[in-house]
Structure 1
Amino acid sequence: MISSFSSECLLNIFENFLTGNNDLKNCILVNRNWSSLAISVLWKNPLTETLKVKQSISVITTYITCLPQESKDSLIANGLQLPEKVLRRELYDYPSHLQILNYQNLYDAIIDWIEESHQEDIMFHQYQLLDHIFRMFMVKCINIRRIDISNLDDSTKIIHFPLLPNSDEFLSNVKEFSCNGSRNSDFIYLLSQKCTQINSFHLKGQNNGLARLIDMQKVPIKSLEVDFRTMPILSIEKVIQKNSNSITKLKLTGSSRLFRIDCQNLKELVLDLNMDLVGLAKKFGVSIFPKLVKLDISIINLNLKFICKFLKNHGGIKYLYIRKSCYLAYLNDTSEIGDLMKILVKYCHNLVEYRGPFSILYEEINECFLLKLFKACLNLEKLWFWGENQLVNISELVTILSNYVPKRLNTLYMDPLWVIDVDSLDIFLNEHKNLDLDIPFLKTSREEYV
């Protein structure tokens, strides 16, 4: 049975279904093919934020073992004491599997290794070790997909590794870049001379080097996440606007005018902005993205009427998430929520997931928005509701809803102010045993009733 799985199938299983490194390490013991595939997954990003110090030290020990002999000799000549176990030649080429380079994680792990080995002159040895490991990476690592300098500490000294020999091939396949802060413009400028295939940017902070890096890409930008606490510099706005038609995923946080760009192929839009509320809201309401399927929005003081106006032109949306803000969390007038419900029922028939405000108040059962939503949106799978401003007993409604629950619905999170009696809940759950139901008012879940 084991031999019947193709390597491609096994790799997909290892990358997406196994729950942790221990599972993968067990796979190493099965046979040579499983071992090779499991190692490739374990070592594509071996230094993560969640890794314990002992594990980080183990990774650096392996990297030192994989260094060429001349590097080890140079480190020893400069006073770094290497333990006996790293002086041997490593039989397996672990560094060659590296795909995600997080500079800060590597930087910290090397400090941990040096401190663990009780070395003196920590900063000198750290720089020496960083330099030799990066020189090894330039030769062995040709599958780097992501460079991440988003979590750099202010005290971190960054090595300009784009200047090292063989850096062209090392950087040739980078597809994703993450950056936090306005520092290291010169380093990012150096990257722009070598990295020209990046199609995904995660940016927090800005500088001229970053504008240059974006502008030098020879491939269309597909994914862009921007978090600017100040207005973006003009050079960055211009280079992003040049790529507007290729962007399929856009996330804007903080202060940004980039929402005004025209993205005709946009499929996912995430907004959490805090500037120019009136102007932004008006622009948002009339914007049209023909291919949009996901909207995740949280804008302080944004009036729901602008979201309603937007949704009228975007009936293809499948995933709609409206996050609480100071305004929405304490909305006393439910008329705006009622208007939103009408828009969902009338225009958003393709909804698969909805998380946002909802009002279940009704004078007649047939006028209940939840019943109408169930009838109009047959592809619903997940619902999370909030926004009610008074207790509402839905016991009678629940028994009627049972006949209209969409077949694919598997998650229903009720508003904390919805009240339901146990008998009505029993009837509902017996007819929908596969539904994950969360009722905050009762502080209970489906498992206690089945």
Structure 2
Amino acid sequence: MAYQLPDDCLNEIFEYLEMDKFTLHSCLLVNRLWCEISVRILWRNILNFKFGKKRSFKIETSILSTLIACLPNESKNILHDNNIFISTPTSKPLLFNYVSFCKSLSIYGFNRIIIGALESRKSLAKHRNSLVANEIIKMFATQISSLKHLTYHRKPFYNLNISFPHFPGARELSELYCDSDLPSDFFYQLSQICHNLQSISIDFCKIITDEIKELISSQNNLKNLILSSSNGNWTDIIPTITNHSNTITKLKLYSNCDSSFSFVSSFSNLQELMISFLIGDLKDLEILQYVNFPKLQILKIPFYNCSKPEYIMNFLENNGKNLKKLYIGECTNKTLNLSISKFCPNLKSLFIMFTNGELDVLKTILISCQYLESIKILCGNYHLSEKEVLETVVKYSPNNFRELKIQHTTNSDAFPNDLESFFISWERRTPKKLLSFMIIDYKEYNYNYGNFCEVLEVIKKYVDLGTIKFMTKSKEKESEEEEEFYIF
């Protein structure tokens, strides 16, 4: 007699498979119990899939047809009355109330699916697409009892006429990603029912309403705040934000216009800080250079202006000891790079720019930062050569080192035999550690000095031997820290 695991055990096992969509899909056909558990997890965030374009379109169309099948008869009649006919997967009653499983909702994501699946390009297309979107969103509002994540962005191409309904299930909302110019009643509704948001991300446009301020003010324990600005700034909302300076531990600021960030100095409990900006006036950075953040572990500053590297150096002198992860992109300054080996001895992950001739700086960092596990290095053109990087990393990297990321700016100078020599030397290291070897923007022309097929053969050989785990990412995915894509 076959033994059936208890339901709670199956649930716990399947939760571990949440990020493995392929395995979860295979569980759908085992039996009804496995199917129900898998479906509940898969529909928790139905837009969280990453496939090729053709595969994604097929999945998006399937999602839309299933949602149409879930619509109440009243909504279906409204669509029919407007000559909108969308096929459903079955004429029979659905096995599950799929919509009720959803915990994450993206208004922009569903707009994209609707427009793409309906392929509407006629003069009335926007009205028809908006009608479908509103009926689906109304269904979500009535069927989802506990919404955790909500994304509501307006994109020019997908800017449909959406009316956000009363959404009782949003009372449990923990993450919100939105634009500042959304209708004020949207922010007012959330401010009345959502008081436990853990994470808020706002893209600031020209409009900042009192309702936005009230929503932020009404939060009890806000921990993660992301502010971005492309055609507006967040100046008017700074007093409201700083009221949460004691609870916020992660702060990310993105701006390509005149948006001050000196207010960061009041956030004494920060564990992670990212500031991405086009520097014109460095007065804000000048203010921050001597501020102490005793709990800061992650610092990311894409530093586009190196005219005052001493500001960053002073900041590292005050805060570098506790840093575990450091990203200083777009700045090539030898003195600044050397200061990292002095002020940041406990780093585990690092990305900085080395110019050609700074191999000694890389060596110094590898020797000084004995806890370093991962490093990302640009190779080619005015940067270090890949061949020299491989030789230096295998010789001087600390015992805990386990991940090397290389991004080519020009063709690689490493031959297949250089890669093989590196892998052999790595295999002989003590203690032995599996190396995650990543090439960013991995393309055939990266290795024009050697036969590309030979490069692949060398890499595959040491993947099969268990010496390395090979990964590749596009430059965009690496910057967004998305999941890896394996060649083999």
Q: TM range, normalised to the smaller chain?
A: 0.7 to 0.9
Quick check: 1:353 aligned with 2:349? yes
Q: Deviations over 1:185-237 (max 9, x none)?
A: 44333433333322212221243336335334332221111111356354411
1:208 match: secondary structure: coil
| Contact 1:150–1:179 (Cα < 8 Å) also in 2 | yes
Once the two structures are TM-superposed, the CA of residue 278 in structure 1 deviates from its matched residue by 2.2
| Amino acid aligned to 1:317 | L
* Structure 1 Cα separation of the partners of residues 405 and 438 of structure 2: 5
Aligned to 2:148: 145
Q: Look up the SS of the partner of 1:60 in the other structure.
A: helix
Instruction: Give the corresponding residue for 1:318.
Output: 324
Could you say if the C-alpha distance between residues 187 and 391 of structure 1 is closer, same or farther in structure 2, counting changes exceeding 3 Å?
closer
Residue in 2 that maps onto 1:208: 208
| Sequence identity (%) | 23
Alignment of 1:130 with 2:126, yes or no, is: no
- The separation in 2 between residues aligned to 1:127 and 1:318, in whole angstroms, is 47
Question: Which aligned pairs between 1:406-417 and structure 2 lie closer than 5 A?
Answer: 406-413=398-405
- Equivalent residues of 2:262, 2:285 under 8 A apart: no
C-alpha deviations, 1:155-212, integer Å up to 9, x for none? 62343333x4xx2x22111111112363534433343333332221222124333633
Give the letter aligned to residue 398 of structure 2: P
User: Normalised by the size of structure 2, how large is the TM-score?
Assistant: 0.74
Amino acid at match of 1:69: N
Q: Contact 1:237–1:258 (CA<8 Å) still a contact in 2?
A: no
Structure 1 residue 429, shift from structure 2 partner: 3.5
Does the C-alpha gap of structure 1 residues 66 and 346 become closer, same or farther in structure 2, counting only changes over 3 Å? Answer: same
Number of residue pairs aligned between Structure 1 and Structure 2: 427
Which piece of structure 1 moves more, 153-162 or 250-259? 153-162
RMSD of Structure 2 on Structure 1 (CA): 4.0
- Sort the Cα spacing of 1:173 and 1:375 in 2 relative to 1 into closer, same or farther, 3 A: same
Unaligned runs of 5+ in 1: none
Farther-moved stretch of structure 1 (54-63 vs 91-100): 54-63
Alignment of 1:18-417 (within 5 A): 18=20, 20=21, 22-47=22-47, 52-76=56-80, 79-81=83-85, 88-112=92-116, 114=118, 122-153=125-156, 156-162=159-165, 164=166, 167=167, 169-180=168-179, 182-206=181-205, 207-209=207-209, 211-229=212-230, 232-254=233-255, 255-261=258-264, 262-302=266-306, 303-314=308-319, 315-324=321-330, 328=331, 336-341=333-338, 343-358=339-354, 368-386=360-378, 398=391, 404-413=396-405
Aligned partner letter, 1:293: Q
Q: CA deviation at 1:246?
A: 1.2
For the residue of structure 2 that corresponds to 1:286, the secondary structure is coil
TM-score for the superposition, normalised by structure 1: 0.79
Contact 1:226 1:253 in 2 (8 A): yes
Q: Residue 3 of structure 1 aligns with which residue?
A: 5
Q: Which moved more, 1:141-150 or 1:24-33?
A: 24-33
**Residues 393-436 of structure 1 deviation map (CA, whole Å, 9 limit, x = unaligned):** 9879958x766532221123579799889597577335247445
Question: How many angstroms apart in 1 are the aligned matches of 2:77 and 2:4?
Answer: 44
Shift in alpha-carbon separation, 1:415–1:78, aligned structure 2, 3 A? closer
CA 119–247 in structure 1, closer or farther in 2 if over 3 Å, else same: same
Alpha-carbon distance in structure 1 between the residues aligned to 2:269 and 2:224: 11
Say if 1:185 and 1:208, in contact at 8 Å, map to a contact too: no
- After superposition, give the CA deviation of every residue in 1:23-77 in whole Å (9 maximum; x if it has no partner): 3221111233432222122212224686734432322222222223344345445
Q: Which moved more, 1:227-236 or 1:93-102?
A: 227-236
Q: CA deviation at 1:94?
A: 0.2
- Residues 360 and 353 from structure 1, CA distance in 2 versus in 1: closer, same or farther, beyond 3 angstroms? farther
In structure 1, what is the equivalent of residue 18 of structure 2? 15
Which stretch has the larger CA shift, 88-97 or 60-69?
Answer: 60-69
Alignment partners' CA distance in 1, 2:317 and 2:262? 19
Q: Which runs of 5+ in 2 are unaligned?
A: 440-445, 463-488
| TM superposition shift of 1:317 | 0.2
Residues 301-334 of structure 1, C-alpha deviations (whole Å, 9 max, x = no match): 143222111111111001011111xxx3xx5xxx
CA distance in 2, matches of 1:360, 1:157: 50
Superposed CA deviations along residues 106-151 of structure 1, whole A, max 9, x for unmatched, are 23433455558x9996555444443433332222101211221225
Larger Rg: 1
